[in-house]
Amino acid sequence: MRMITLSEAATLLLENDNFHILTHRYPDGDTLGCAYALCYALRTLGKNANVKMNGKLPSKFTYLAENYCEQDFPCDFVVSVDVAADSLLGELEQEYKDRIDLCIDHHGSNSLKADNTLVDATCAAACEIIYVLIKSMKVEMTVDIANAIYTGISTDTGCFCYTNTTAQTHRIAADVISLGCDFQMINRINFETKTRAKLKMERMVYDTMEFYCGGKCAIIYTTLAMQKALGAGDDEMEGLASIPRQIEGVKMGITMREKEDGTFKVSVRTNDGINASEFCARFGGGGHMAASGCSIKGDLSSVKYMLIKAAEEVL
């Protein structure tokens, strides 16, 4: 792994062609925003580029791919965006894990195996890096690129609300809005729309909320049975992780979500300098200081017990 600068990354992209751009599993707004923005930018430069989806494109993000169609070419250069570790390559791991030419990421904990790595952990979203990179390649920004960039920076900052937001985040938002990005549609989809099923899911989740460590730890969960009872899909499950940390006095909010494969996907959100990334590393996960995740195998009560025990040691 060779750490490179932004201008070295730009040179690599300019000198190569026939790109596959890899997203991380459970694709979110940032990895998708990066992938589509970079793909559109490379195509503007006359290059071949495809976005390699990791699972299905979530229905709420279909607007990103409105002007996208898969191209047919043999892949020569593999770029990953917002993928922090090999395990997050998901269904792309088999095909690509030993042939990533360039890793672009904003996770300080990045451990992905790649020939060249560009990490800037001061960026709230990997899309900030992609934006600066595209500008440095002198690509003319299109509305599609602007929409993709805005999607990444707004979703990774909870619409400019999380502590990772910086002056740069707002400057880029101002730039892409000036370029005509449809931030009103994007905000509405990501932050202002709740299906009735989601509303019901939230209320059901509130019923699971328990407090530990004298109120400093709040934990909520969803089970497959709850999801099935409400007919809730992935869209309804989004954003639940931000619920427990919001409660006054809570320093660590833990959200457990039962998955089909017998594991719980665990999201940890923290306040006041509690290190969520270290906490999740105990269970083989990672992420950011205040927002991290891991997967734990087991049934509801045993996984919950493990998490509470670990929280008690930290808090």
Q: Which of residues 137-196 bind a second copy (CB under 8 A)?
A: 158-163, 165-168, 170-171, 173-175, 177-178, 183-184, 187-188, 191-196
Least Å distance between CB 248 and a second copy? 5
Least Å distance between CB 24 and a second copy? 25
The residue written with tokens 């665990």 in the block is 266
The residue written with tokens 């909520």 in the block is 220
Residue 26: count other Cβ atoms within 10 Å of its Cβ: 16
Pick the closest to residue 308 from 290, 289, 284, 283 (CA basis): 283
Q: What is the CA angle 169-175-176, rounded to 5? A: 90
Q: Which of residues 262-291 bind a second copy (CB under 8 A)?
A: 271
Check if the beta carbon of residue 118 is closer than 8 Å to that of residue 9: yes
**Among the candidate windows 72-80, 126-134, 199-207, 304-312, which touches a second copy by CB under 8 A?**
199-207
Q: Which of residues 64-93 bind a second copy (CB under 8 A)?
A: none
Residue 275 phi/psi, 5-degree rounding, is -85, 100
Check if the beta carbon of residue 270 is closer than 8 Å to that of residue 289: yes
Q: What is the CA angle 155-157-161, rounded to 5? A: 120
Polymer length in residues for the chain: 315
From residue 240 to residue 259, the character string flagging contacts with a second copy as x (rule: CB under 8 A) and all else as - is: -----xxxx-----------
Least Å distance between CB 214 and a second copy? 14
CB closer to a second copy, 7 vs 184: 184
Using rule CB under 8 A, residue 59 touches a second copy: no
For residue 196, which amino acid is it? R
Supply the DSSP symbol for 211. Answer: E
Pick the closest to residue 16 from 73, 84, 98, 70 (CA basis): 73
CB closer to a second copy, 26 vs 211: 211
The residue within the footprint of a second copy, chosen from 62, 99, 140, 199 (CB under 8 A), is 199
Supply the DSSP symbol for 186. Answer: H
CB closer to a second copy, 86 vs 120: 120
From residue 206 to residue 245, the character string flagging contacts with a second copy as x (rule: CB under 8 A) and all else as - is: x--------------------------------------x
User: Which positions lie near a second copy, rule CB under 8 A?
Assistant: 158-163, 165-168, 170-171, 173-175, 177-178, 183-184, 187-188, 191-196, 199, 203, 206, 245-248, 271
